[in-house]
Amino acid sequence: MPIAPIRSTTQDHLDIEDVRDDLILLKDGSAAMVLQSSSVNFGLLSEEEQDATIYAYASLLNSLSFPIQILIRSQKKDVTNYLGLLQKQEQKQTNPLLREQISNYKKFVEKTVKEGNVLDKKFYIIIPFSYLELGVKAAAKKGFLQTTHPTTYQFPKDQVIKKALTALKPKRDHVIQP
Protein backbone atom coordinates (compact mmCIF):
# COMPACT_ATOMS: atom_id res chain seq x y z
CA MET A 1 0.00 0.00 0.00
CA PRO A 2 1.59 3.33 -1.05
CA ILE A 3 2.30 5.79 1.71
CA ALA A 4 0.47 9.09 1.36
CA PRO A 5 2.78 12.09 0.95
CA ILE A 6 3.11 14.40 3.92
CA ARG A 7 1.52 17.75 3.15
CA SER A 8 2.35 20.88 5.08
CA THR A 9 -0.04 23.78 5.47
CA THR A 10 1.85 25.76 2.83
CA GLN A 11 1.18 23.03 0.27
CA ASP A 12 -2.54 23.30 1.05
CA HIS A 13 -2.46 26.87 -0.26
CA LEU A 14 -0.55 26.14 -3.46
CA ASP A 15 -2.42 25.24 -6.62
CA ILE A 16 0.31 22.78 -7.62
CA GLU A 17 -0.43 19.12 -7.07
CA ASP A 18 2.66 17.57 -8.67
CA VAL A 19 5.45 18.13 -11.18
CA ARG A 20 6.04 15.19 -13.52
CA ASP A 21 7.28 14.61 -17.05
CA ASP A 22 7.96 18.32 -17.71
CA LEU A 23 4.42 19.20 -16.62
CA ILE A 24 2.98 21.05 -13.69
CA LEU A 25 -0.17 19.27 -12.54
CA LEU A 26 -2.61 21.54 -10.75
CA LYS A 27 -5.10 20.60 -8.06
CA ASP A 28 -8.09 21.51 -10.23
CA GLY A 29 -7.05 18.80 -12.71
CA SER A 30 -5.49 21.12 -15.27
CA ALA A 31 -1.82 21.14 -16.21
CA ALA A 32 0.74 23.48 -17.71
CA MET A 33 4.04 23.30 -19.50
CA VAL A 34 6.56 25.99 -18.57
CA LEU A 35 9.34 26.99 -20.96
CA GLN A 36 12.22 29.22 -19.94
CA SER A 37 13.21 31.69 -22.60
CA SER A 38 16.39 33.63 -23.14
CA SER A 39 16.33 37.39 -23.38
CA VAL A 40 17.78 40.01 -25.68
CA ASN A 41 19.12 43.36 -24.50
CA PHE A 42 16.80 45.32 -26.76
CA GLY A 43 18.51 48.65 -26.09
CA LEU A 44 21.82 47.39 -27.47
CA LEU A 45 20.34 46.32 -30.80
CA SER A 46 20.56 48.46 -33.91
CA GLU A 47 17.32 49.99 -35.22
CA GLU A 48 17.07 47.30 -37.91
CA GLU A 49 17.61 44.53 -35.36
CA GLN A 50 15.01 46.09 -33.05
CA ASP A 51 12.49 46.21 -35.91
CA ALA A 52 13.24 42.58 -36.83
CA THR A 53 12.80 41.53 -33.19
CA ILE A 54 9.46 43.36 -32.91
CA TYR A 55 8.20 41.82 -36.17
CA ALA A 56 9.31 38.32 -35.11
CA TYR A 57 7.54 38.71 -31.75
CA ALA A 58 4.38 40.03 -33.41
CA SER A 59 4.51 37.18 -35.91
CA LEU A 60 4.75 34.63 -33.09
CA LEU A 61 1.80 36.14 -31.21
CA ASN A 62 -0.31 36.35 -34.37
CA SER A 63 0.43 32.72 -35.23
CA LEU A 64 -0.87 31.34 -31.93
CA SER A 65 -4.19 29.52 -31.93
CA PHE A 66 -3.97 28.72 -28.21
CA PRO A 67 -3.46 30.81 -25.07
CA ILE A 68 -0.08 31.36 -23.48
CA GLN A 69 1.07 33.32 -20.47
CA ILE A 70 4.33 35.23 -20.43
CA LEU A 71 5.92 35.61 -17.02
CA ILE A 72 8.89 37.85 -16.29
CA ARG A 73 10.53 37.31 -12.92
CA SER A 74 12.76 40.18 -11.81
CA GLN A 75 14.95 39.82 -8.78
CA LYS A 76 17.55 42.20 -7.42
CA LYS A 77 20.99 40.79 -7.98
CA ASP A 78 23.24 40.49 -4.94
CA VAL A 79 26.84 41.06 -6.03
CA THR A 80 28.35 41.03 -2.53
CA ASN A 81 30.07 37.66 -3.07
CA TYR A 82 31.41 38.79 -6.45
CA LEU A 83 32.84 41.99 -4.93
CA GLY A 84 34.45 39.90 -2.17
CA LEU A 85 36.03 37.65 -4.82
CA LEU A 86 37.39 40.71 -6.64
CA GLN A 87 38.79 42.04 -3.34
CA LYS A 88 40.61 38.74 -2.71
CA GLN A 89 41.96 38.67 -6.27
CA GLU A 90 43.16 42.25 -5.91
CA GLN A 91 45.00 41.40 -2.68
CA LYS A 92 46.59 38.26 -4.18
CA GLN A 93 47.74 40.02 -7.35
CA THR A 94 51.49 40.69 -7.36
CA ASN A 95 51.57 42.67 -10.60
CA PRO A 96 50.79 46.30 -9.66
CA LEU A 97 49.26 47.09 -13.05
CA LEU A 98 46.85 44.12 -12.87
CA ARG A 99 46.07 44.98 -9.23
CA GLU A 100 45.10 48.51 -10.31
CA GLN A 101 42.90 47.16 -13.13
CA ILE A 102 41.09 44.82 -10.73
CA SER A 103 40.62 47.74 -8.30
CA ASN A 104 39.21 49.96 -11.06
CA TYR A 105 36.89 47.19 -12.23
CA LYS A 106 35.68 46.57 -8.66
CA LYS A 107 34.94 50.31 -8.27
CA PHE A 108 33.06 50.26 -11.59
CA VAL A 109 30.91 47.33 -10.43
CA GLU A 110 30.20 49.03 -7.08
CA LYS A 111 29.25 52.29 -8.83
CA THR A 112 27.00 50.48 -11.29
CA VAL A 113 25.19 48.68 -8.46
CA LYS A 114 24.74 51.90 -6.44
CA GLU A 115 23.48 54.00 -9.37
CA GLY A 116 20.98 51.56 -10.77
CA ASN A 117 19.20 48.42 -9.82
CA VAL A 118 21.02 45.37 -11.08
CA LEU A 119 18.30 42.87 -11.82
CA ASP A 120 18.34 39.22 -12.69
CA LYS A 121 15.45 38.64 -15.06
CA LYS A 122 14.09 35.29 -16.09
CA PHE A 123 11.48 34.88 -18.81
CA TYR A 124 8.95 32.05 -18.91
CA ILE A 125 6.25 31.01 -21.36
CA ILE A 126 3.43 29.02 -19.80
CA ILE A 127 1.21 26.86 -22.01
CA PRO A 128 -1.94 25.71 -20.18
CA PHE A 129 -3.88 22.46 -20.50
CA SER A 130 -7.46 22.45 -19.22
CA TYR A 131 -8.98 19.32 -17.72
CA LEU A 132 -11.83 19.89 -20.20
CA GLU A 133 -9.38 18.82 -22.91
CA LEU A 134 -9.60 15.30 -21.45
CA GLY A 135 -13.07 15.21 -22.92
CA VAL A 136 -16.04 17.27 -21.83
CA LYS A 137 -18.31 14.25 -21.81
CA ALA A 138 -16.01 12.25 -19.55
CA ALA A 139 -15.30 15.20 -17.28
CA ALA A 140 -18.98 16.06 -16.91
CA LYS A 141 -20.08 12.45 -16.51
CA LYS A 142 -17.59 11.45 -13.81
CA GLY A 143 -16.72 14.81 -12.31
CA PHE A 144 -13.02 15.43 -12.58
CA LEU A 145 -12.18 15.60 -8.91
CA GLN A 146 -13.60 13.68 -6.00
CA THR A 147 -15.46 15.81 -3.49
CA THR A 148 -13.95 14.03 -0.46
CA HIS A 149 -10.43 15.22 -1.12
CA PRO A 150 -9.91 18.07 -3.59
CA THR A 151 -6.61 16.76 -4.89
CA THR A 152 -7.62 13.17 -5.58
CA TYR A 153 -7.97 12.65 -9.31
CA GLN A 154 -10.92 10.73 -10.76
CA PHE A 155 -8.77 10.01 -13.81
CA PRO A 156 -5.42 8.32 -13.27
CA LYS A 157 -2.58 10.85 -13.20
CA ASP A 158 -0.79 8.89 -15.90
CA GLN A 159 -3.80 9.38 -18.19
CA VAL A 160 -3.85 13.12 -17.46
CA ILE A 161 -0.11 13.36 -18.13
CA LYS A 162 -0.39 11.40 -21.38
CA LYS A 163 -3.26 13.55 -22.69
CA ALA A 164 -1.60 16.77 -21.54
CA LEU A 165 1.68 15.89 -23.22
CA THR A 166 -0.13 14.92 -26.41
CA ALA A 167 -1.86 18.31 -26.45
CA LEU A 168 1.04 20.44 -25.23
CA LYS A 169 4.04 19.10 -27.15
CA PRO A 170 2.85 20.42 -30.55
CA LYS A 171 2.06 23.77 -28.92
CA ARG A 172 5.52 23.84 -27.35
CA ASP A 173 7.12 23.02 -30.68
CA HIS A 174 5.17 25.83 -32.34
CA VAL A 175 6.35 28.35 -29.72
CA ILE A 176 10.02 27.32 -29.88
CA GLN A 177 10.30 27.00 -33.65
CA PRO A 178 13.07 29.22 -35.08
How far apart (Å, rounded) are the C-alpha atoms in residues 159 and 169?
A: 15
Predicted model pTM? 0.68
**126 & 67 share domain:** yes
Average pLDDT, the chain: 83
Establish if 4 belongs to a structural domain. Answer: no
Alpha helices in 36-156 (DSSP H): 47-63, 80-92, 96-115, 136-142
pLDDT at 145: 47
- Number of domains composing the chain: 2
Contact status, residue 134 vs residue 163, Cβ threshold 8 Å: yes
Res 66 pLDDT > 60: yes
**66 & 107 share domain:** no
Residues sharing a CB contact under 8 Å with residue 135, sequence separation 6 or more, in sequence order: none
84: domain range? 80-115
CA trace torsion 78, 82, 87, 91 (10° rounding): 170
**69 & 85 share domain:** no
Establish if 91 belongs to a structural domain. Answer: yes
Per cent of the chain over pLDDT 90 is 44
**19 & 66 share domain:** yes
**45 & 91 share domain:** no
Establish if 2 belongs to a structural domain. Answer: no
**20 & 71 share domain:** yes
**32 & 111 share domain:** no
**107 & 126 share domain:** no
Tell me the average pLDDT across 15-26: 86
